[in-house]
A = this chain, B = another copy of it.
Amino acid sequence: MNIGEASNASGVSAKMIRYYEEIGLIRPMGRTGNNYRVYGDEEVHILRFIKRARNLGFSLEETETLLKLWQDKSRESAAVKEVATAHIGDLERRIAEMQGMVKTLKHLAHCCGGDTRPNCPILDDLAGDGAVGGDASAPAMKRKTKQHA
């Protein structure tokens, strides 16, 4: 199987497959005489594992950890659960942060006429003029991962 077929079978782009190899997330693949990478069902399975982990929002680093645990037949399930629960906590923190933004924004948008007049409570809030805005002061934590498009 060439990289294109492996890509189709796994849902991971060829570009990303090469990248994962480069950063050591997956082992360097064997090559044919023409220098093409060769993949088998095993590799496709691993790529799909990675794909699914990414879809659940795990970073590549976390995915690597999970991958190693998956391949370690003597792992303790507690280790896996710990990674998962930490990630859940992370997601929930980010969700709460964004919900705070939404709450404030909805309030401001509700107060804004949205017509042809220039008067606008949203801008007033951003400018710090009004005491309208809610709690958008906490700078928030760094984003850990980004979803692919």
Q: Which residues of A contact B (CB under 8 A)?
A: 45, 48-49, 52-53, 55-57, 66, 69-70, 73-78, 80-82, 84-85, 87-88, 91-92, 94-95, 97-99, 101-102, 104-106, 108-109, 112-120, 122-123, 125-128, 133, 136-143, 146-149
Do B56 and A104 touch across chains, with their CB atoms under 8 A apart? yes
User: What chain B residues lie within 8 Å of A55 (beta carbons)?
Assistant: 101, 136-140
How many copies altogether?
2
- Main SS at interface, chain A: helix
The residue in chain B whose Cβ has the minimal distance to the Cβ of A119 is B77
Do B148 and A81 touch across chains, with their CB atoms under 8 A apart? no
Q: State which of B82, B101, B120 has its C-beta within 8 Å of the C-beta of A91.
A: B101
